[in-house]
Amino acid sequence: MSLRRRTLLKVIVLGDSGVGKTSLMNQYVHKKFSQQYKATIGADFVTKELQIDDRLVTLQIWDTAGQERFQSLGVAFYRGADCCVLVYDVNVMKSFDTLDNWHDEFLRQANPADPRTFPFILLGNKIDIDGGNSRVVSEKKAKDWCASKGNIPYFETSAKEDYNVDAAFLSIAKTALANEHDQDIYFQAVPEPAPENEQRGGGCAC
Amino acid sequence: MTQSEDALSYPPIDPVNFDLIIVGTGLSESVIAAAASAVGKTVLHLDPNSFYGSHFASLSLDELTSYLNSHSLPTTSSTVAAATPNDDPDHVVVDLLQKPLYSDVEIVSRDSDDEDAKLLRENSRRFIVDLGGPRALFSADKSIDLLIKSGAAQYLEFKGIDASLAYQPNEGLANLPDSRGAIFRDKSLSLKEKNQLMRFFKLVQQHLANDGDQNESGEGRKILEEDLESPFVSFLDKMRLPPKIKSILLYAIAMVDYDQDNNEVCKDLLKTKDGIDRLAQYSSSVGRFPNAPGALLYPVYGEGELPQAFCRRAAVKGCIYVLRMPVIALLMDKVTGFYKGVRLASGQNLFSHQLVLDPSFTIPSPLPSFPRDFPNERLQMLSQRDIKGMVARGICITRSSIKTDVSNCSVVYPPRSLYPEQATSIRALQIGSNLAVCPAGTFVLYFSTLCNEADEGKKLVQAAINAYLTLPVTGNSESIPIVQNDSEDTKPSVLWSAFYIQNVTMSKFESISSSPTPDGNLNYNDLLDAAEKLFGQMYPEEEFFPKTTSPEDTVDDDDDDDHNGITLES
C-alpha cells in the first residue's frame, strides 16, 4: 500500500539539554562515547537494524538537533513517532522535574490517537558519575513517576560505560513495534482515492 | 500550552555575537537559515510565535483563527507600549513594530448544534490548514531540486495531487489535456481540436529539442524569434487554437494571473518564450514520479512542514532556534547609523553582521527623534515598505469532494469564466484526509486570487466557492455572483470557512533585509529565487547549498529508498 516500509520505526529522544541524549544514541549505534560535551550540532538521526522475533525492524532514532535548548522543537519533529524516549540525568534534579513538561509537550504536539496508551520509555542516564554518589534522583522516585504515567518502562543507563544501553533500546524497539500496529489501523481508516483505471499516456505532453 | 509561554523564563542566549540573525521562520527565512548554516555561518533564528512557519505555517483551526485575528489589527504605533528607553551608550535603539499583513478577516463556523458542528469541535486539532494556501509543488520545479540539494527532503513525505482541473463555464470542472493520454480521453474536445492541440504540443516539443541547436535540420522546427518575444496569447491566436484550449494553456498550465486578452487589467502579459518554459516545466512534471499521477505534489501534514524541514537542516548545522521570542528593537551604531544588533523581549541585546526580518516588521513612521547628527536614512527602507499587491485567500472545510471520486485536486477558474468582469485567475486546491491534514471524510479547500482591493478579492473568491459549494449563511451575502450549475442541489456545504486579504510586499536588501511575503502563485519558484538572491547578496562568495562530501553529513542509513530523493506516499 505504501512505499514506506512498515518496519521502519520512528523513535524520538527527548529531555533537557546535557542529559546525554546524543551520547546514548551514539553509544547504541556506533559504540562510541565522547567525554567532551558540546551542545548537539550535526546530529540528525541514526538508524539501526534489529531482529525482533521473526521481524527485521529498522529503528530510526531522531535527535533533537539542539532545538530542545529553548523548547523550540517544531511539531514536524514529533509527527509520526512510534515511541518517545524520555531521558533525564540522575544527578540533576531539574532534568527529572522537567520530565512532566516533555511528556505533556510530546502528547500535545504529536497528538497521538490515544494519548493514554502511546508508548513512552524513561531512561535515567549517567549512573556512572562519581560511582553513584552524586546521584539526586533515586530509582524509586523515578519508578513512581513511571507508575503515575501509566507504567512506562524504566531503565537506568550509562552511555559512557555502555551500561544497559542495548537493553533499553531493545525494549524501545519492542514497544514501538507494538504501537506501530495501531498506527497502521489509523492510516487504513483513511479512504484512498479511486485508483487510476487507465494508464496515463506517456509522461510528456509535448 | 504546557511549555513556558513566557520567553522571559529562557536562559540568556549564548553566544551573543552571530554572523546572521533571522527573525521569523517563514519559508524564505528558513531556507536562508539552512543555506547560511550549511556554509558555516553562525546563525540565530528567532520567532515570536510558538510555532514554526510564520506566514507559511500550517495550523489547527483555532490557531489559525487566533493568528489571523491577532495579526490583522489596524496599524497604529500605539499598539506597542512606551518606546524602549534609549539606555544604551553605544547604540541608538529603534523600536520594531509588527505591521499586520492580513486584513478583512472573516471566519465563519457552523455554530448550530448539528452533526457538522460536533465534528469540527471534536476534531479541531485534527485539521491542519495552511495560512498561505493554496500551494503545491510541481514535480519538476526547482523547489524539488532545492529540497534534495539541501537535505531537507529527508524529513518530508509527499503525495501526488490526483487531478488538475480547469473550470469551464459550460462544462464545469474539466480535466486538463496535459498529456497525450489525457488529450485522447478528453470527451469535450472535438477531433479537430485534439489535432490542433497535438500539433501545437509537437511544435513546442521540437522547439525545445532544437533550442540551442544551431544546425537547422529539416526535421526540427523552431518557433520564430519574433514570436518568442511576442505575447503568448497572440502566439496561441496565431496557432488558431480554440478559445477553450487557449484558456487552459494560459491559465491552468502556464498559470498566468491576469486576463491576457484585456490590456486594461492585465499586469503580467506573458511572453511566448516564458509561456513555452512554463509548458515545458508542467509537462516534465507530469509523470516525473511514477506514483504521482499529475504534475503537482503536496507535503503530507501540510505546507508548514517545508519551513520546518529547512529549520531542522539549519539546526543540524548548528543554527540556534528560539521560538516565542519577540525582537522589540534594532540597535544602530550611534555614529555610523549602521545596523549592529537586536534587542529581545527578554531584554537581552544580541549582535550580528546581517539581519533578515520577517516581512511584517517595520519601524515607527515618522521616525522618533534621534540624536541630531544620526544618519537615519538606513532605516528609511524599513518604514517605507512597498506594497506590491494583494492576495485574497479563502479556506473551506467540507464533507464531500467538489469532484466525484477525486480526493486531492487543483482547480483553476480562468478570467471571465465565472462572471464577465472577472479579471484574474482564481486558483483552488482541495486536499483530502490521505494527506493527514483532516479527519477521514472531510476535505480542506484553498482559494486564492490577486486583487486590487479587498471587496474585489472577496467577490472573486466567493464566486469560485459558490460555483461548487454552499457557504454557511451569514447576514450579508449581497451582490455575490451566483454561478448556476446543474448539480445545484448536491453542492457540498461548507462546515467552516475563512476569508482574508494578505498584502504582498517587496523584499529589500541591505545589512537589514526583509524576506518576501507569500505571493499569489501556486508554486514556490519565485519565493525560492528571492531567498537565493538574498543569500547571494549577503554572501556573494558562498555557494547556495554546496554539495556535501564529508562523511558525517551522510546519514548512515542503509539501502533506504528515499535516500537522496523525494519520498512519495502512494
Q: Does A74 touch chain B (CB under 8 A)?
A: yes
Residue B401 contacts by C-beta under 8 Å, 6 or more apart in sequence? B407, B409, B430, B432, B443, B492
In order, the DSSP letters of B20-35 are EEEE--SHHHHHHHHH
Q: Where are the alpha helices (DSSP H) in B7-71?
A: 27-38, 61-70
The reply to whether A6 touches chain B by the CB within 8 Å rule is no
The string over B187-225, giving b where at least 16 C-beta atoms fall within 10 Å of a residue's C-beta and e elsewhere, is eebeeebeebbeebbebbbbbbebeeeeeeeeeeebbee
DSSP B158: E
The percent helix, strand, coil of chain A (3-state, each to 5) is: 35, 20, 45
Q: Nearest by CB to B561, which of A3, A49, A200?
A: A3
* Residue-wise pLDDT tens digits, A9-45: 999 999 999 999 999 999 999 888 877 666 666 678 8
The C-alpha atoms of residue B318 and residue B279 are separated, in whole angstroms, by 40
Residue of B nearest to A79 (CA): B301
Nearest CA-CA partner of B28 in B324, B352, B325, B358: B358
Sign of the alpha-carbon torsion through B285, B291, B296, B300: negative
Contact between B51 and A75 using a beta-carbon 8 Å cutoff: yes
Provide the pLDDT for residue B558.
Answer: 39
Instruction: State the cell numbers at B207.
Output: 522547439
Q: Edge-to-edge strands of the sheet including B296-299?
A: B137-138, B296-299, B158-160
Q: Work out the burial of residue B391: count CB atoms within 10 Å of its CB; fewer than 13 is exposed, 13-18 middle, 19 or more buried.
A: buried
Sign of the Cα torsion A60, A65, A70, A73 reads negative
In this complex, the residue of B287, B322, B406 whose CB is nearest that of residue A203 is B287
Q: Which cell goes with B355?
A: 539581519
Identity of the residue numbered B220: G
Q: Does A65 touch chain B (CB under 8 A)?
A: yes
Other CB atoms within a 10 A radius of the CB of residue B16 amount to 13
* A141 and B CB contact within 8 Å: no
Report d(CA B425, CA B480) in Å as an integer. Answer: 17
In whole angstroms, what is the distance from residue A180 CA to residue A172 CA? 12
Task: Provide block-wise average pLDDT over 10 residues at a time, chain B (570 residues).
Answer: 52 94 96 97 96 96 93 56 62 87 90 76 89 94 92 93 91 84 83 88 86 56 86 92 91 93 84 93 87 90 97 96 94 88 94 93 69 65 70 94 92 95 96 94 96 94 90 54 52 90 80 86 93 94 81 42 62
Residue with cell 499586520: B100
> What predicted TM-score, i.e. pTM, was given to this entire model?
0.89
Task: Tell me how many residue pairs between chain A and chain B have CB atoms under 8 A apart.
Answer: 165
Which cell numbers hold the place of A192? 484512498
* Dihedral over Cα of B394, B400, B403, B406: its sign: positive
A2 shares contact with chain B (CB less than 8 Å): yes
Judge whether B295 and B152 are in contact, CB under 8 Å: no
ipTM: 0.84
- Residue B126: its chain A contacts at CB < 8 A? 111
Distinct helix (H) and strand (E) counts, chain B: 14, 23
* Interchain pair A42, B552: CB under 8 A: yes
A7 close contact with B: CB closer than 8 A: no
Buried b (16+ CB within 10 A) or exposed e, B402-411: bbeebbbbbb
Of A1, A69, A205, the CB nearest to B201: A205
CA dist B235 and B215 (Å) reads 24
* Number of residues that make up chain B: 570
The answer to whether B281 and B271 have CB atoms below 8 angstroms apart is no
Q: B324: nearest CA in chain A?
A: A72
pLDDT digits (tens, 9 = 90+) for A149-197: 999 999 999 999 999 999 999 999 998 888 775 554 444 333 333 333 3
Using a CB–CB cutoff of 8 Å, tell me whether A129 touches chain B: no
